[in-house]
Amino acid sequence: MKTVPYLKKKFLDFYYTLSIKNKISLSFIIVFSSLLILLVVFVYNISSAILINKAIESTLQNLRLVSEKFDIAFDNVENYAKAAKINNVVQNALTNTREEDELDKYSRIKDVRNSLDSIINPRFLIDSMILYDFNGNIYDSGKIQSLKYAFKPEYNSFRGNFITSGPNFWQDIHQSNFTESEATQKIITFTSGVINADSGLPVGVLETNVNEKYISKLYSNIVIGKSGKIFIINKKGQIVSNTDKRKIYSNISYDPYFKWALNNEGGKIFNIDDRQNLIISRHYDRLDWIILGIVPTEEITQDKYLLINQIAYIGLGFILAAVILIIFISKSITRPIIKLKKSMEYMGDGDLEVSVEVKTRDEVGALAEEFNRMLKKTSALMESVYFEQKRKREYELALLQSQINPHFLYNTLESICGLAVLNRTEDIISITDELAMFYRGVLSKGSKIVSLKEELNIIERYLKILQLRYGDQFDYTIAVDQRLYNFATIKLILQPIVENAIYHGLRNKKGKGHLEIRGCLEDNNSCIYVIDNGLGMRNEDIRRIFSDASYESVQKSFGVKSTDERIKLYFGPEYGINIESVYGEGTTVKIVLPAKEMWGGLE
């Protein structure tokens, strides 16, 4: 499975190294070759389908012809049987009731035999006739070897039910051991009752036998493909007729196409002995037979290869002509591009005075003119933008630092003075110690990127100082997933948020306020929540914080917007600050940072 991506990568690597001229040539060759292959595949499939459908139609027509031949043959058999039954000699023999000696009986049997033989002798489709009366006498057409094997006592039962059903039916393929030949014969028998012409009562049963050899001759001259064949089966899957006599009585009910042929007429392809074969089926209801034609599909579709070869040769000729034309076209297209490329290389070496001379007025010419116009301005513009943005960011960071530190230091020192007046020595020691630890964390050896644990230590020092200043006006909790501790963050992103929450949310709240700092992993990001139950903000106040508002508004926001910009500047636009607030209930500030550890390249 890894082979395909590997080959794809190798091809793309090779393709990317080609010149535009070669890419154009290769692309056209691939396109034309693909179209040729698709055309060949399309013609292959279409021609195969057409040839197979034609073969099905042609073979079905032949099978219909076979059915018609069967009908004609079996109609003739029934007509000859009818002629035999109304023959005067036959009628007299079956209705004779007088006593006879052996000579008279022999003469009567001989007369019946001669009469039956005269009916079937010129009719080569009928193999033999056997006549039974209800007195146990048997007459034949002269081709019977042993009449004792031909006797069928069950015919006596026809006397009783002849009027309701009558023994007029075709018997499927079976063996006969009473014929003159040494081997048993495979015959099909038409059985019919004999009626007395005067009384209308049944007087006997006539069997008219047809040799299977005659049946197979009716379709043996029909050709389907080079090695295709036709044979007949019954509804049980038994072969009843085949030009190959060894296969008669063979059973195909387990072959894959039998069930389909049993219920369908038409053609369908089946895999037989690891070879695709077309099976054509037609039902012959008179004897409950199925006429089958089978032919290898390769014999039907072999003509398509000649057509495909012709298309391939013509297509290759077109591809060769197209390649020659493409080479000339690609050269005319890439020549000005090569000039433009060389000019860009000179510019890359520091020569900003170079220009491109292109005479064409197409898109490449327009590109060259635009390149010449912009070349002189590019370097100065890039440097101007770069230094301007750099100075702007440095100014904003310096401004933010100057807004936070002196303001906080002044207020803290003022609190220390107040505590000194009140002789609260222990509180002075605590607040001084926390202030020292706070600034030690703020300085952080000048590093702008710190771990989240260090940032939490800074903000905890900051909160302890504010608690000492404001007493019991608020309390706080910090609950951060320890997995976030070593993730990188910008220093002092929590301080402006916390200060804003206390000064504008909790300080003027009636009753004791609460500040909560939470941290967790969300969608592979490090998320810090600063939640207070203070006064809250209106939506317009939130919008004003993130807008380019007046200096007064910026002062009121305590650097929230600048902190958001710092996060986006360092980590990307998908990170930053989001504020949700309900006026009168409190505010939640969400800070989204990348979940990257300090040694991941951000320190």
The span from the CA of 458 to the CA of 442, in Å, is 7
> Average pLDDT over the chain, rounded to whole?
79
Q: How confident is the model at residue 555 (pLDDT cuts 50, 70, 90)?
A: very low
Name the domain count of the chain.
2
467, part of any domain: yes
pLDDT value at residue 588: 94
Task: Report whether 138 contacts 150 (CB < 8 A).
Answer: yes
Q: Which residues in 71-91 are b (16+ Cβ under 10 Å) and which e?
A: eebbeebeebbeebbebebbb
* Burial (Cβ within 10 Å: 0-12, 13-18, ≥19) of residue 43: middle
Residue 514 has pLDDT above 90, yes or no: yes
Residue that terminates a domain, selected from 149, 183, 216: 216
Greater confidence (528 vs 361) lies with 528
pLDDT exceeds 70 at position 175: yes
State CA 445 to chain mean position distance.
60
Q: Residue 552: its pLDDT value, please? A: 39
Tell me, yes or no, whether 519 lies in a domain.
yes
User: 131: closest CA among 287, 123, 121, 114?
Assistant: 114
Q: In the structure encoding, which two tokens stand for residue 38, read together?
A: 């698709």
DSSP E strands: which ranges in 431-504?
449-451, 474-480, 488-490
> What average pLDDT does the segment 261-272 reach?
92
Quick: pLDDT tens for 471-480: 778 899 999 9
Model pLDDT, residue 159: 44
Higher pLDDT pick, 311 / 265: 265
H or E element that contains 291: strand 289-296
Give yes or no for residue 462 having a pLDDT over 70: yes
Residue at 369: amino acid letter: E
Asked whether residue 417 is domain-assigned, the answer is yes
**Range scoring the smallest mean pLDDT among 432-436, 461-465, 472-476, 597-601:** 597-601
Least confident of 98-107, 199-208, 355-364, 516-525: 355-364
DSSP assignment string, 143-171? -BS-GGGT--GGGGGHHHHTTTT-S-EEE
Q: How would you class 29 by CB atoms within 10 Å of its CB: exposed for 0-12, middle for 13-18, buried for 19 or more?
A: middle
Cα(505)–Cα(361) distance, rounded to whole angstroms?
66
Query: Has residue 396 got a pLDDT over 80?
Result: no
Residue 64 domain flag: no
Q: Which domain, by its residues, includes 138? A: 86-216
Asked if residue 170 lies in contact with residue 189, where contact means CB atoms within 8 angstroms, the answer is: yes
Question: What CATH number has the domain bearing residue 416?
Answer: 3.30.565.10
160, 189, 216 — which closes off a domain? 216
What is the number of other CB atoms lying within 10 angstroms of the CB of residue 167?
20
Among the ranges given (133-147, 357-371, 401-415, 466-480), the one the predictor scored with the smallest mean pLDDT:
401-415
Q: Which of 169, 195, 216 is the last residue of a domain?
A: 216
Q: In whole angstroms, what is the distance from residue 19 CA to residue 12 CA? A: 13
Residue 265 resides in a domain:
no
Residue 529 scores a pLDDT above 90: yes
pLDDT band at 76 (very low <50, low <70, confident <90, very high): very high
Q: Which of 88-102, 385-399, 515-529 has the highest mean pLDDT?
A: 515-529
Measured distance CA(248)–CA(187) in Å, rounded:
11
- Average pLDDT on 103-113 reads 85
Task: Say if residue 599's pLDDT is above 70.
Answer: no
Kindly report the backbone phi and psi dihedral angles of residue 253, in degrees, each rounded to the nearest multiple of 5, phi listed first.
Answer: -65, -20
**Structure tokens given for 195:** 């009626």
Mean pLDDT lowest among 24-28, 117-121, 457-461, 567-571: 24-28
At residue 22, the pLDDT reads 75
Confidence of residue 551 (pLDDT cuts 50, 70, 90): very low
CB atoms within 10 A of CB 34: 10
Least reliable range by pLDDT among 1-10, 83-92, 455-464, 499-508:
1-10
> Is 79 inside a domain boundary?
no
Alpha-carbon gap, residue 598 to 449, rounded angstroms: 8
Of 168-177, 223-232, 342-351, least confident by mean pLDDT is: 342-351
**Beta carbons of 300 and 55 less than 8 angstroms apart:** yes
CATH code for position 167: 3.30.450.20
pLDDT tens readout for residues 340-374: 777 777 666 666 566 666 666 666 667 767 767 77
> What does the radius of gyration of the chain's CA atoms come to, in whole angstroms?
54
Question: What proportion of the chain, given as a percentage, has pLDDT over 70?
Answer: 74
| Domain assignment of residue 575, yes or no | yes
Q: What would the two tokens of residue 91 be?
A: 């009628």
Q: Is residue 282 part of a domain?
A: no
| Residue 525 confidence (pLDDT) | 92
d(CA 581, CA 585): 8
Residue 108 · residue 131 · CB < 8 Å:
no
Mean pLDDT of the region 489-495: 85
CA-nearest of 278, 289, 148, 284 to 224 is 278
Q: In terms of residues, how long is the chain?
A: 603
